[in-house]
Structure 1
């Protein structure tokens, strides 16, 4: 299938599956344990029904939003995902540029395969930085200072990974931030020559942002060992407050699923939260993100900017999240399918598809602006009735 013939995210997903070796595709696709939360993110979205307004008289839909003083033409953030370089060489740069082109924001992960400085210099779009609190407070401060100097305007602190999730697909494939070479993986790579040439034969991507905390010549195995050794299962709200004090710009906490934690985030000085269950990759059985949005928005939505991720594959999914109270969404696997399928063209196509679907859904719903979406436009089994 030609990339221009891909008419939805599912088409891009299939192209990615064909192009990637199995071990790499399963890292992208998989989740924790029985993958209940992964499926629930999707099934809960499917349970939300639209209540359209007819004869609304809107020729087009205004998808623009303002987040922390910065204007976006599309209410989405290309989310902070790690190890993107195993899907396509320089994937982080590709995604950042695709986000800029689409008028979305881009969030760079601590575990990116391009450095903070490289991505900062490569795009003038809205750029955020995501921090995994690995290492000690000196490591955190150093990463935040680098991000601020490189033009990243917002910090996203991920707090839902105190220990690695039990991702059984990766365990079976002996994949843990690095690939164990076996006859099977060698054969699988040879059967995918496009990926082999683009990624593997040019050197295994490293976590470039972490090199200075290991040593400049560290390989992926040494850096992966650093990330495993320096996690913080004892991360506390005092640590969150310390990170808040280190960062002078807008500050979001990612991994919130309860009203209580949303209120605590507000009390700790957060400017926003990302309602997230890590795409089902951490705690299996966690509540779906879409059903968490409205109660949290009712509790703190007037004082916190609310974003949400979790299974968005259609523009309709984005509209559902915004209707229930999110200010914007965070996209994880959807743009990754695009970049894994066809690099820059695939990443751009993924965002184009979602933007077109979002605008079409808005017109069919009878709503001319995402700013005027409300729970009145949807019905869901878990919706709070007023």
Structure 2
């Protein structure tokens, strides 16, 4: 498809500025912030950008092709949209906007268990081409029900989340009383009044809710009861015993997201997973941890030919995608960039961000004379 993007917002920095102007502060800070003092949030992007690429200007370069085969499907670019919780809080209808854009551009969209669109609705939009991220339920019956729904909706890939054994300590969200729906303090009400377009569209689309989880929730929960339900229903702590049965249940491709060590990758291979996503949850869980790119280096070195290795966390631009691939990733995912774009540009935000990233990545490939994305490691300066 023809790539079109809004030339007023040619970079993620432009989108961040516009998003901050368009959505309430509590929503922007939920999107933009990390945990504790944001140390790992900052390291994620900074350490990716330490990666340098070598051009070969006099090579017999003909063309650069960014199409990438992954799990039997050829995508138009080597990046996809990461799962993000509470998307409809940041911009009404956000997951639907992004899923539609991903389908039209032929890249993967991963639906989070705790976002604001249902398994069935996103499958309808993407004609069964989205991936589903499972936030592991405490009860086996709920887990099996969600997996069966994803299977019935023809999701080809199930992504099991493993890096949230406990909720991250996020000072901004605590101050803002962020919940679902957000606590309506006077400060939050004033923020909403200052963002009339967000407020009107939220009224039009209705209060955002955990759509996938509605069949398992008692009706008419207040905020306190909703919090109790979430704590009771979900346990982020997984181990080999808890996730091994998923391989028997799920017949599609299976991915473990949130790995940060060789030991976790070793277990994923042993259990028959098809891929891993190296990630630190965008710097939102462990401030004292490594950046995602630093965690990925030894994993690629040891397991490159044994399992598909993907990465998210800290990737903001097409140039960052190139750097990540140069470090040996088979594929990459971005979360915040897409959410900034939707918050800034509404229904045009999904297509804008994908087009921007494709154009940026294509320019890097042409500049360094890289013909295929698989060749990026040959251009890395170590």
TM-score category, normalised to shorter length: over 0.9
Q: Which residue of 2 aligns with 1:120?
A: 123
TM-score, structure 1 as length reference: 0.94
Superposed displacement of residue 159, structure 1: 0.7
Q: Secondary structure at the match of 1:55?
A: coil
Q: Is contact 2:83-2:112 (8 Å) kept? A: yes
1:1-386 to 2 correspondences below 5 Å: 3-124=6-127, 126-200=129-203, 202-218=205-221, 222-232=225-235, 234-374=237-377, 376-380=378-382
Superposed displacement of residue 219, structure 1: 6.0
Q: Secondary structure at the match of 1:373?
A: helix
Q: Is contact 1:155-1:251 (8 Å) kept? A: yes
Question: 1:207-252 CA deviation, whole Å, 9 max, x = no partner?
Answer: 0111111135546664443222333265321111012222111000
Distance 1:360 1:240, change over 3 A: same
Q: Secondary structure at the match of 1:152?
A: coil
In structure 2, runs of 5+ residues without a counterpart are: none
Superposed displacement of residue 299, structure 1: 1.2
Q: Which residue of 2 aligns with 1:383?
A: none
Superposed displacement of residue 201, structure 1: 6.3
Superposed displacement of residue 184, structure 1: 1.0
Structure 1 runs (4+) deviating above 6 angstroms are: none
Question: 1:109-134 CA deviation, whole Å, 9 max, x = no partner?
Answer: 10121111111112237310000012
Q: Is contact 1:259-1:296 (8 Å) kept? A: yes
For the aligned residue pairs, the C-alpha RMSD in angstroms reads 1.7
Superposed displacement of residue 60, structure 1: 3.4
Superposed displacement of residue 176, structure 1: 3.3
Q: Counterparts of 1:358 and 1:186 in 2: how far apart (Å)?
A: 41
Q: Counterparts of 1:125 and 1:369 in 2: how far apart (Å)?
A: 27
Q: Counterparts of 1:43 and 1:114 in 2: how far apart (Å)?
A: 32
Q: Counterparts of 1:66 and 1:202 in 2: how far apart (Å)?
A: 36
Q: Counterparts of 2:22 and 2:236 in 1: how far apart (Å)?
A: 36
Q: Counterparts of 1:3 and 1:77 in 2: how far apart (Å)?
A: 20
Q: Is contact 2:16-2:340 (8 Å) kept? A: yes
Q: Is contact 1:63-1:75 (8 Å) kept? A: yes
Q: Counterparts of 1:184 and 1:174 in 2: how far apart (Å)?
A: 10
Q: Counterparts of 2:6 and 2:171 in 1: how far apart (Å)?
A: 31
Q: Is contact 2:93-2:205 (8 Å) kept? A: no
Q: Greater CA deviation, 228-237 or 113-122? A: 228-237
TM-score, structure 2 as length reference: 0.95
Q: Is contact 1:307-1:329 (8 Å) kept? A: yes
Q: Is contact 1:206-1:223 (8 Å) kept? A: no
Q: Is contact 1:256-1:275 (8 Å) kept? A: yes
Superposed displacement of residue 203, structure 1: 3.1
Q: Counterparts of 1:118 and 1:219 in 2: how far apart (Å)?
A: 25
Q: Is contact 1:59-1:363 (8 Å) kept? A: no
Distance 1:117 1:151, change over 3 A: same
In structure 1, runs of 5+ residues without a counterpart are: 381-386
The number of residues matched between the two structures is 378
Q: Which residue of 2 aligns with 1:384?
A: none
Q: Counterparts of 1:55 and 1:234 in 2: how far apart (Å)?
A: 52
